[in-house]
Amino acid sequence: MESQVRGGTRWKRFAVVMVPSVAATAAIGVALAQGALAASFSVSGQSFKVTTDQLDGTGFAQYGALDEGYTMTGKKTVHPVAVSAFKSATIRNMCQSVVTPDIPLLGSVSLMLKAGEDPNKPVQAENLYIDVAELEADATFKGIDIGVAAKDASKGPGMKGGKEQANPFGFAQQADSVVLKDVKQTAWATTAGTFKLSGLKMSLSTGVKECY
């Protein structure tokens, strides 16, 4: 952890601003490093970046939705996303980062999480949903169906529900399996029935430090 600020007024201000980021990441980082547990990761009013060398997914579906969130001041926000859903996924060399800007006296603070760097111990997830705003990757699909209604996408784990707003009759696609290589994506939320992070490394630092 590069920041040398500790205790007193600065730490209190830092903690208040960073509560959403730290709490969400701790839910993943601390608990999930010890076993496969239900998990969700979202940062109110903020997107986060994710990279991975390769994601191997089975039971894939994708559909459009709107995600609701709130800024640090409590203002409601809505973001269009493409929900990528997998019945199961193996993720190799995953990096996840979020930057909280404009913290009094500190400026920007970056939170970074890495896992699955050992090729023999990848990240494992079941019933995984990623609410994606931007995606770059080399993709290979098997058994793909394009243009089904979201509610009829039976190869994936089903529509997520919760705070997202999605039209069950809207456009969707699905596939028996998908391989995504050299992934770079910006997302607003990640949820999973189980999520196991092998070789977890988590760090906080001042300034802007992102996965890409």
Percentage of the residues of the chain whose pLDDT score is greater than 70 = 75
Token digits of residue 86: 């997998």
Asked if residue 106 belongs to a domain, the reply is yes
Domain hosting 193: range is 8-206
For the cut 60, the answer to whether the pLDDT of residue 41 exceeds it is yes
pLDDT at 67: 86
- Cβ distance 144 to 175 under 8 Å? yes
Neighbours of 59 (CB within 10 A): 23
Lowest-pLDDT range of 52-61, 116-125, 159-168, 195-204: 159-168
Asked if residue 211 belongs to a domain, the reply is no
Residue with tokens 């980021």: 21
User: Considering all CA atoms of the chain, what is the largest pairwise distance in Å, rounded to the nearest integer?
Assistant: 58
For the cut 60, the answer to whether the pLDDT of residue 23 exceeds it is no
* Alpha carbon distance 116, 124 (integer Å): 9
Q: What is the pLDDT of residues 75-108, one digit of tens each?
A: 788 889 999 999 999 999 999 998 888 888 888 8
> In the chain, how many domains are there?
1
pTM above 0.85, yes or no: no
Asked if residue 156 belongs to a domain, the reply is yes
Asked if residue 157 belongs to a domain, the reply is yes
Asked if residue 1 belongs to a domain, the reply is no
Percentage of the residues of the chain whose pLDDT score is greater than 90 = 54
Asked if residue 111 belongs to a domain, the reply is yes
